Every structure is written in C-alpha cells, then in structure tokens.
Structure 1
Amino acid sequence: MTLRPSNAEPRRRQAPRNRRQLSSSAAASPGQLATTLSTILLLLQTIAPPSAVSAYHRAPCTTTSIRRQFQYSECYAPSLNPDLFLREASFVMAHDAATGYLPLSTKDSNEALANHAAMSQQEAYSSSNSWKAISKDFLALYGKTQVGTVYDQLNHGARALDLRPKLYTNGTIGFHHGSLIDIPLSSITLGNLLEDAKQWCKDNPKELVIIFHSKMVHEAGYNGLASQVYMETTDDGYDAANNNNDANQDLDDMFYDDALQQNYYNDDQANQDDNVNNDNSNNDDNDQSASYSYYYNGIAALRGVYENHGVPYYPCEKLGNLTVGEAMDLADLTKLGGKGYLLAVDRHDMYASLCGKANRAQYSLVTCYSSHYATNDNNVQAQQHNAESNSQSYMQCTDRKGTGQAKLNALRSYVKASTNNEPTDNSNELGPPADYLTYPFNQIQGFWQVDASSVQVGLMHESTLLDDNRVSQVNAEMVRMAYNNEFDSVSIFSMDNVALNGNAMFSVLRNQCDQSAISNDDDGLHACGQQLVMPQMNVSTTLPIFWNVVLFVIYGALAAMVLVMLVQAFRMRNKELRDQNSLICSGSIIT
C-alpha cells in the first residue's frame, strides 16, 4: 500500500468528530467503543507516516499562492496509478508550450527602430518593411500563451507539452503558433527545450511527462514536408547514430521493433519500398537484421533530435493499449543515461499530427471576442441597435459583469461537450474518440480559442491571450468544473497560462478517485475527489507591476517607431518642395 509522507495531510471537507462525541461513544458500550477506536485508527492510517517513494512534492513550496493550490499540505500529490490505462490517465497540457520562450522585452523593437533610422531617405519613404516589423511584434506579444520555460510550466502543474514544430531548411527545428507567430530560433530550439524538460524530470524523477507534437510546418512549405527519407531502422543504425553508447543497448529493440515501424505512405510508395528492398537484396543477404522504412522528412529530422538528446519518440499506436506503468517503462530516461520519465509522441505522418482527438470544431469555436449573436431577446435588440447606428458591438470574455458571463457559459458548454458527448471520430464534431487505438488521447481545449476576427478585435483592445486568460479567470472556472465532476473523463486538459492555477488543476485531476496510486488502494482509506477540499485559486485580474511596465515600454516603442516614420516622410516631402522651388528660382529648366 502506498502511503503519504507524515507531513502531507489531506485537506478534508468534513472535520473529524469533536471530543464530546468521542467521549459519549466510548462510554456508551464496548461495541461502540470498538467502533470508535476503529474509526480513529482509520483516520490515523489516512495521515500516517507513509513511504515517500511514490509521491510528488513541488519545489519550491514556499509561497502561499502555490501551497494553497494543492489539496494536500506541503505541495504534495500522489503518483499516478500505474495500473490505469494511459488513455484514462489525466494530464494537464500546456497549450503551445514553446511560446513561453517568447521574450517580453523591448530589444527587438529598439533594434527595428535603430535600423529604420539608419535607412536612406528613399528606403524610409517605403515603409512596408517597418509596418511588417510592427505587425510581427504585435502578434508575438498577442500570441504568447505561456509564461516561462517548459521547466517552469511543468513546475506549474503541466504534465504534457503541446509543441508545434517548424523545420528550417538548415535542418534546425524550432516552433510556431499557427498563423500568428514563429518562435525565433534565438529564443528556443527543440534540442534546448528537451534539455529543459529533462532537467525537470531529473529533479522530479517520479512524474511522467508526455510531449505531443502537432501541425508541423516547414520553412519551404508543403514540398519541404512531403519529401521522404529512406532510413535504416535496425539496432545497428540506432547505435551508430548514438556513437555506440552502451547505455542505449537495452533500448534498441524498444525503439525499433516491428510494431513501431509503420509506413505512412500510399500504395504507390509501398511498391517503391518493395522495389528498393529488392534492389538491395544482396545487402539484406549480408545482414539479415537490417531493415529500412520511409519516413517523412520532418519525422526523420525529429527522430534525429530526440536520439541525440536521449529522449524516446514513438508513433501513436505504440501507446494505444498501454497502462501508465508500461508507458513509464518506455519513457524511462535512466536507460538512456538520464533520470525521470519523458517521451514524445505523434502520428508520424507528414504533419506530425496529434495522438488524439483535438476537439477543435471550426464552426463552434469559443473566442474571447465576437459579435453579438441573436441567441436571446437582448442580443436581437443589440443587433437592431447596431444596424440602425451603423456601429459594431462585441461580446468580450474580459467583461465579467456583462457579456463575459455569456462567453464563459459558452466555453463551459464547449469543453463539456468535448468529453460528455457520444464518442465520435469525426473531427468536426465534439466528443471523445470512438476508436482509442487510432486516437489514444482525448483533448479538452479549456482556453479561449482564436480566429482572424478575434485576433483583430483583441489587438484593437490592446489585449493579449495571457491578459484575456487572467481577466476572464477562465483557468479558475475550469478547475471548479473538474472538481465538481462536470466531465465524464479527462485525458489531456489543455490550458493557456498554466502559471495561473495550473497546479490547482493538476491537484484536482491527480486526486480524482482511481487516478492516483493511493486512491486505488484496496483498503479505500484515502480521501479522493470531492472528499478533499477544493484548491484555493489565484484570481488576479491584473498583470504584475513589472509586466505592466514592460507592456508600456513595448507599446511606447512601437508608437515611437510610427512617429519616426511619419516625421521622416514629412521631412522628405518638405525637401522635395524646397528642391522644386529652388529649380524655379534659378531661371533655368533642368531635365
């Protein structure tokens, strides 16, 4: 039986009996005394000094804002139940985790301003490049969904990382956030991000962390991804790529067994594969253990980075029927010279697609900003008023006393449908997957989604995704929903800004009955679910003073850039007028 450390006590909803009740019970009869003593023993066992072998303690655990997000004292959380199917385990996922590396500084803006000032007059007169730089800075600031490195995000409760890889023509792998932004290579690369994740796993060696890829792009576009690489997939090939490191010997079969090597190509490509194998039959005779497969260019590049950094990387079907314990065996970094549990997964298709149902229904998205819709009499009247006054009215998630509540209700319905609807594999319909072998995981998008219109309106309001998240208090609402069992099940719960109440969501999900190692004990003595008190969450609706200063400086620099451009254009216009007047006064015509 797995027990808790003695200093980690559950914060129960119901207090134990008072002293008078215990005294009357003891005096009543020997039978009642035995019952009372038994109850006391059960209570003592619940908070007894346990073995801390299978437990997580968040470090540091010094501030009140962190401690109160955990349902046990000392920032304690039990480990996942190893007998639970991986698809049934609950993970907090940091949405677009790589955006945490985007700097909120004025360095780029100042450089752009200096470069603009150094332009010739003719170059300055054409300001398209400057406007492009301004737009890029605005979008980078707006599209940042996380704060801090992946080490920080994992420390804030994330146990899954949502990564959108971008392959560059020089072979480097960086990241992007859809059509909004590219994360500069100077900020982070896949290799550096993996080292941050490995360091957290080393510091917290009992926790399983999963990296989910999706929406891979190439600097050269579609053609850069569509090409394929014919790669050796034998044990020898893996050893050669890792300089014959003895630490990898035991994992050779794990990485490259026959079940893993699924060829994601059409029948014509399969025929090509057969022809290549036939042409190389002499080589096969010399080495019967050699095998080859086609891999998309992006997948081959990803494999290279993961092998170089000693992190397991699998296709989805490898995890379909595994338990948590079996997945941790595959993710065990000690077999590769590291420490902790970390693995990466995707479909190994051209776009490194998500290993699960994304639940992004394009026509049902709930954005932070949108036009009023005629869903009730008030909105009908609002639309009529807008039409008569030729004005536009918006619903805003940040308007908590007005339209923001309707927005929050819409998001609540969206996330509940993602898990409570009937199972379906239709990507345009919300609900859990019907085929768990094809879609081992089910994602709940517990954040404000974006479309072109919402981005425009958000920029008009000088807002950001992080600011929308804070002001609307959406993370706290998602935690309350999870605590109140409003979801039939949770696989991966994707959140923006896990730094705000991410640990609260982690604690609630981990302490659901049957999720953790201690809640699954046969004796049933340990509190779980709503037997524990709801975490106390941070509900700050404003940015810290430091970030307010940073935002003020950034927006001020951008405004200064625009002002400089206007001043230079005005000076050029005046110079042209002076030159023209000078030619007329000279009394001669110059052609």
Structure 2
Amino acid sequence: MSRWLVLLVAAALGTNKTDGYHRAPCKKIGVRRQFQFTDCYAPNINKDLKLNEASFVLAHDAATGYLNTIASDSDGSSRGSSSAYNDEYDNVDNMAGYRDSSSGNRWSTITTRLLSLYGKTQVGSVYDQLNDGARALDLRPKIWNNGTVGFHHGSLIDVPLKSITLGGLLEDAKKWCKDNPKELVIIFHSELVHEAGYNGLSTQIYESTDDDYSNSYQNRRRRLEDENVQDNEKKEEEEGERDEAKQNVDDYYNDDYMDDAAEGDDAQVSYSYTYSGIAKIRSVYEEHEVPYFSCDKIAGLTVAEAMELADLSQYDGKGYLLAVDRHDMYASFCGKANWVQDSLVTCHSQIYNAGAQGQLQYSHCTDRKENSGQSKLAALQEYVKASANNEPTDDYNTLGPPEDEDYYPFTQIQGFWQVDARSVQIGLMTASNLLDDNRRSGVNEELVNMVYNEQFKSISLIAMDNVAVNGNAMFSVLRNACGQSSNFNDDEVLPCGSNLVRPNMQTNHKLPVFWNIVLFIVYGALIVMVSVMLLQAFRLRNQGPQVGCSAILFHMSHF
C-alpha cells in the first residue's frame, strides 16, 4: 500500500513541475506511458555526477536513420540536410552515381542497397532519435575524395550523401538542443574511413593546436566584451569598466582553459601535426559551431563541467551538444566498446542438429514461441550483464568495465543483436532486417526491464537499435535511477528507482505495413533478377561453349 501511495505522489509531482525535461509532443498514449511521471516528464540530470557515472541512451549507428529519409530542420522543411548538402556536396548525384555510374555495376548497386536496407538500425533523423530517448549518438564518419563528410556502417553500407552529411546531421541535433535546452547530448565518433583508403587517413597536416578550447575561449571572450561595451555605454563609464571586464575574462579563461595563452590579445599559438581526417571533421564542426574534443579533454570531468564545454550559447545557440573521439587516425571511440568477436550474440545463427540425421538448422531470435528465441535473448542478457558487472579490465577482448577510466572515459553496453557474415546471410534469406529483428524479438523491452530491476552495477552508455521502440522507456528508467537525477530542492525529493512504476512499454512485434511493402518489393525484385540470371545461364549452356563465351561477354558489356 505504501508503495502505491509513493507512486501517486510521484505522479502528482510530475504534473506540477516546470523544471526538468518534458518530451514534446506528448500526445500519443504509447509515448506517454513510457515515462514514469505524467506529461512525459523526467527530472534534470544530476550535474554533480562524474561524466562516466551518468547514464545515457546511445543510438547505435544513428546515421542509418536517414536511409530513405530526409532530415528535418526548424521550419519543418528539408533544410537540415539540404543546407549542408549544398555547402559540402560536390556534384555527386547520389552514392550509387558516384561509385557505380556505369551500367556494368548495376548488380553491385542493387546489392549495396539491399544490404543498406538490412543494416538500417534507426528510424528517422537524429532529432527524432533524441526525441525517442537517445542522449548520445554513435556516428561512423566517412570522408569522400571531394571533401564531403558522410557516414557508413561497416565496409558494405554507406549512407547516401544525398540523404545526410555531417553538417546536416549537426543542424538536426542543434535544433533538438534548442528545443530542449537543459539536456546534454554527446556525439561519439568511431571507425573513420576515407574513400581513398588508408592513404586518405594516414596523411598529416601541420596546423595550429588552437583546438576547441581556444576557439571556445575566443568566442566567449568576444561575446562578453561586446556585452560589456553595451553596458558601459549605458553607464557612461565605457573605457574603465571595459578594460576591467576584459581583464577578468582573460584571467578566467587563462586559468581554466588556456594555460598556455598569454594575457591580452597576444596569445601564443603553437603548431603540431594533425591527421588530415581529424582536421577535416574539425572544420565541419567549426563551421556549424559545435564543440569537438579529444577524449583526454573530457576524462574525469563532472556532468556540470562537460555541460560548460558543450554550451551552445557560446555560439549564440541554445542547449548542450559536443562531439568526442580520440583524434587518432580512425577517430576512435572514447571508451571500451565491449565488442568481443568470439562472444557475439547474433539474431540468426546456424546449428547442427545431431538428432535429425545431422541436418543443419537455423536459430532465430524472433522465434518468441520457440526455445531458440528465448535462448538467444538469455544469451544476450548474459552478454550485456558481463559488460557492466565483470571485474574491471582494460583488455579489449574481455567483457567488462575498464580499469583505466582516464583512457576509457566511457563504457558501452551493446544492447542490440550483433551481426556477422553468417547472420546477415541468414537474415537476408529469411527476408528480415535489423529493425524487424529488434521489434519482433522484444529486445528493447527486455533491456528496459533489466535496468528497472537494477541488474547492472553501473551504466555509462547503453547502446540500442531502433530507439523509436521503447527508447523513451529506457531514458526514463535511466534518468529516474537513484542518484542519476537532481532533486528540485531540499524539502521535496522525488522517488527513484523501483519506487516508481515500471514503464508501460510497446509490445507490438509486427513490422509496420510500410516496411512489409518495401521488403516485398525489394526481395521480389531480387528474386526476379536471380531468376533471369539463371535463365540466361541455362540458355548459354545449351548454346555451346563458343557461343556462350561471346554471349557472356556481350551481356557483361551491356548489363
């Protein structure tokens, strides 16, 4: 009885509070029920936490949300992607047109598009994903020979440049931060690649080490000086107070951010070699006025200190957004990924059934009524628990949190079905895809239950596919975990953890009608193409070797 009384009080508190996060829109019942307070409410993050102790929902491979979609901007148009597309794009109609312009590569193009459809892990723009509960974005940048920065996922999947570029994605993220100015959003890079391969990344350039700290310093300083000038004009004490304010700003940033800078305007600038890929990415962030740091700059910071670095008001924006990576050749992830190849849990696998005359059988995570689905879900649960609960170790091939938190500021829990070559092959054979696997297996729902039941010792980043499904429920249980959120005041403390009701999650495991139609068209076209190719091969075989060879050459030149 007492627990239900606490829940009723919590619900009443949620409706009366203006401080904190309120998801907008909050009209759909399916969205409202994912929050543990009314009105899609969650309290603010606890700023006193160490950054690696704060819990974030990480949208796994966030850029794939733009596959077959167009990013949205503040006016509801497509300017979020198209503006960056116009600025950075260099006469490339689309990814296929750039790589597969000849008719002889049509089969490669169709195969790539089929794999892209299979490998799509998110739905909608990063604005949508953040609105669905994500507070961290997993991005895999790709630099093209024309200088455009796009995205990829693995060696076979490229996100078409016409869908989104890094600049366009940043504008979508900034728009969400403007609409939700109290939330901290972190972008994580990893696996940077270049169209030219290794040579495109290994080159270095000699440039100023005036990184984002000094850029932030200079921008803040100019803004504060301008504000001081206006105030001084009103008080008719312009010269004296302006000099004093300027000196105060110099002293503050020299102490906290610019230890190597000299007083006044004569700051000493040092130079060093930087990987060209990092320099290119940095230029995009500078153009779009989003802070971009190396891992060592954020290691050991509190949430409050990280939010100070991420404050977009220094660029006349609103909200808190920053990007991080190791600033090495591959823009590596700022944490321990807990991706151990020998222990991966895939949705689809092949098993040898000795009791059925040695036949090969397939096991699927989507078989919820069969033992295979439950056993796979249990295996994934053990995998994610080991990632958080094992003894700390810096061994990248061993699951568990890191021991050196300075080198690994973050720990990732991979709460999604991983893939390997065999699982992709079986998935394509069964006309499935990652979004379908996620929805039908109910993996997001199970992960939320695990967090609610406090089965993890600690959570830094919990990565999810398809945050559109129960992503807000995950955000709610993470933010409402005891110690993760800030109290409103000393006299009024919100309940937390299991004292709050469990989110009422979406349990519809059927694929939407739209995706059923898309899959039917794509796989139908694939079957037709394979049938035509087999028919041609059969005819060539009957025509004899000489005619066959010349026919093959003819078809290859016109395919």
TM-score of the superposition, structure 1-length normalised? 0.76
Tell whether 2:23 aligns with 1:47.
no
SS where residue 16 of structure 1 aligns?
A: helix
Of residues 63, 86, 100, the one that matches 2:65 is 100
Structure 2 residue 417 is matched with structure 1 residue 448:
yes
Aligned residue in 1 for 2:506: 538
TM-superposition CA deviations, 1:260-314 (whole Å, max 9, x none): 99xxxxxxxxxxxxxxxxxxxxxxxx97612112111111111100000000001
1:277 aligns with none
Q: Secondary structure at the match of 1:416?
A: helix
Per the alignment, residue 37 of structure 2 pairs with 72
After TM superposition, the structure 1 = structure 2 runs for residues 8-157 of structure 1, keeping only pairs within 5 Å, are 14-16=3-5, 47=13, 52=18, 54-103=19-68, 129-157=105-133
The alpha-carbon distance between structure 1 residues 570 and 453, as it changes in their structure 2 partners (threshold 3 A), is closer
| Aligned-partner residue type, residue 194 of structure 2 | H
Q: How many angstroms does 1:572 deviate by?
A: 8.6
Instruction: Return the offset for 1:516.
Output: 0.4
Counting only pairs closer than 5 Å after superposition, residues 501-512 of structure 1 correspond to structure 2 as 501-512=470-481
Measured in 1, the distance between the counterparts of 2:307 and 2:220 equals: 24
CA distance in 2, matches of 1:406, 1:176: 31
Q: What corresponds to 1:466 in structure 2? A: 435
* 2:172 is aligned with 1:196: yes
CA drift of 1:43 comes to 5.2
The alpha carbon displacement at 1:167 in A equals 1.0
Distance 1:258 1:243 in 2: 13
Counterpart-to-counterpart distance in 2, 1:193 and 1:94: 14
Q: Is 556-565 or 415-424 further displaced after alignment?
A: 556-565
Q: 1:528 is aligned with what amino acid?
A: C
Q: Size of the alignment, in residue pairs?
A: 492
- How far 1:544 sits from its partner (Å)? 1.4
Distance 1:527 1:173, change over 3 A: same
Q: Distance in 2 between matches of 1:45 and 1:237?
A: 42
- Tell me the equivalent position of 2:236: none
Amino acid aligned to 1:548: N
Specify the alignment match of 2:153 in structure 1. Answer: 177
Equivalent in the alignment of 2:241? none
Supply the distance in 1 between the matched residues of 2:209 and 2:509 (Cα, whole angstroms). Answer: 52
CA contact (8 A) 1:260 1:314 kept: no
Aligned pair 1:384/2:349, yes or no?
no
Alpha-carbon distance between aligned partners in 1 of 2:259 and 2:417, rounded to the nearest angstrom? 38
Moved over 3 A (4+): 42-46, 48-51, 234-240, 242-254, 256-261, 521-525, 557-577
Matches within 5 A, 1:413-562: 413-518=382-487, 522-523=490-491, 525-562=493-530
Alpha carbons 1:163, 1:212 under 8 Å: kept? yes
1:13·1:532 contact (CA, 8 Å) conserved in 2? no
| Cα deviation 1:185-211 (Å, max 9, x = unaligned) | 111100000000000001111100000
Q: CA deviation at 1:81?
A: 0.7
Cα distance in 1 for residues equivalent to 2:469 and 2:492: 32
Q: Alpha-carbon deviation of 1:253? A: 5.8
Greater Rg, structure 1 or structure 2?
Answer: 1
Q: How much has 1:134 moved relative to structure 2?
A: 2.7
Structure 1 pair 304–404 and aligned structure 2 pair: CA distance change class (3 A): same
Which residue number in structure 2 is paired with residue 405 of structure 1? 374
**Separation of aligned partners in 1, 2:5 and 2:166:** 51
Cα distance in 1 for partners of 2:17, 2:506 equals 31
Using the TM superposition, give the Cα deviation of residue 553 of structure 1 relative to its aligned residue in structure 2, in angstroms. 2.3
Paired AA for residue 504 in structure 2: Q
Map 1:205-216 → 2, pairs under 5 A: 205-216=181-192
Whether 1:290 and 2:258 are equivalent positions in the alignment is no
Question: In the superposition, relative to structure 1, how do residues 45 and 506 fare at CA in structure 2: closer, same or farther (>3 Å)?
Answer: closer
Letter in 1 for 2:518: V
1:217 aligns with 2:193: yes
CA contact (8 A) 2:431 2:523 kept: no
Deviating more after overlay: 546-555 vs 414-423: 546-555
3-state SS of the aligned residue for 1:543? coil
Q: Distance in 1 between matches of 2:224 and 2:501?
A: 45
Relative to structure 1, is the Cα distance of residues 48 and 351 closer, same or farther in structure 2, using a 3 angstrom cutoff? Answer: closer
Rounded to whole Å, the distance in 1 between the matches of 2:339 and 2:14 is 45
Distance in 2 (alpha carbons) for counterparts of 1:431 and 1:522: 36
Show CA shifts across 1:43-63 (max 9, x none): 5997387552x3111011001
Give 3-state SS (helix, strand or coil) of 1:211's partner. strand
What is the rounded CA distance, in whole Å, between the counterparts of 2:418 and 2:185 in structure 1?
25
Q: Which runs of 5+ in 2 are unaligned?
A: 71-92, 226-248, 549-559
Q: Distance in 1 between matches of 2:106 and 2:14?
A: 65
CA distance in structure 2 between the aligned counterparts of 1:92 and 1:243, rounded to whole angstroms: 31
The 3 A distance-change label for structure 1 pair 362 and 523 is farther
> In the alignment, is the contact (CA less than 8 A) between 1:420 and 1:432 conserved in 2?
yes
- Secondary structure at the aligned position of 2:169 is classed as helix
Contact 2:214–2:257 (CA under 8 A) maintained in structure 1: no
Aligned match of 1:22: none
Contact 2:445 2:505 in 1 (8 A): yes
Structure-2 separation of matches of 1:244 and 1:328: 15
Specify the code of the residue in structure 2 equivalent to 1:82: K
Q: Which moved more, 1:286-295 or 1:430-439?
A: 286-295
Q: Deviations over 1:505-545 (max 9, x none)?
A: 000000000100128x6557321000000001111111111
* Counterparts in 2 of 1:234 and 1:428: CA distance versus 1, 3 Å: closer
Are residues 199 and 44 of structure 1, via their aligned partners in 2, closer, same or farther at CA, if it must alter by over 3 Å?
Answer: closer
SS at match of 1:349: coil
1:293-341 Cα distance to aligned partner (Å, 9 max, x none): 2111111111100000000001111111111111111101011121111
- Mapped to 1, the partners of 2:42 and 2:277 lie a distance apart of 37
Q: SS in structure 2 opposite 1:314?
A: strand
8 Å contact kept, 2:182–2:320? yes
Give per-residue Cα distances to partners, 1:372-404, cap 9 Å, x unaligned.
Answer: 3xxxxxxxxx63235x34x31122111112201
Corresponding residue number in structure 2 for 1:31: none
* Deviation at residue 133 of structure 1 after TM alignment: 2.3
1:185 maps to amino acid:
L
Q: Which residue of 1 aligns with 2:137?
A: 161
- Asked if 2 retains the 8 angstrom alpha-carbon contact of 1:501 and 1:537, the reply is yes
Shift of 1:461: 0.9
CA distance 1:189–1:56, change in 2 (3 Å): same
Q: CA separation of 1:572/1:392 partners in 2, compared to 1, >3 Å: closer, same or farther?
A: closer
Q: Does the Cα contact within 8 Å between 2:114 and 2:522 map onto a contact in 1?
A: no
Amino acid of the structure 2 residue aligned with 1:56: Y
Contact kept, 8 Å, 2:22 with 2:42, in 1: the verdict is yes
User: Which has the higher mean CA deviation after the structures are superposed, 562-571 or 441-450?
Assistant: 562-571
Q: Spell out, residue by residue over 1:403-431, the C-alpha distance to the aligned partner (whole angstroms, 9 max, x if none).
A: 01000000000000001000011100011
Rounded to whole Å, the distance in 2 between the matches of 1:294 and 1:259 is 20
Point out the more displaced range, 155-164 or 134-143.
134-143
CA contact (8 A) 1:315 1:347 kept: yes
Q: Tell me how far apart the structure 2 counterparts of residues 432 and 227 of structure 1 sit (CA, whole Å).
A: 33
Unaligned runs of 5+ in 1: 1-11, 18-41, 124-128, 262-285, 373-381, 581-591
Residues 14 and 235 of structure 1: CA distance in aligned 2, closer, same or farther (over 3 Å): closer
- Contact kept, 8 Å, 1:315 with 1:348, in 2: the verdict is yes
Q: How far off is 1:550 after superposition?
A: 2.3
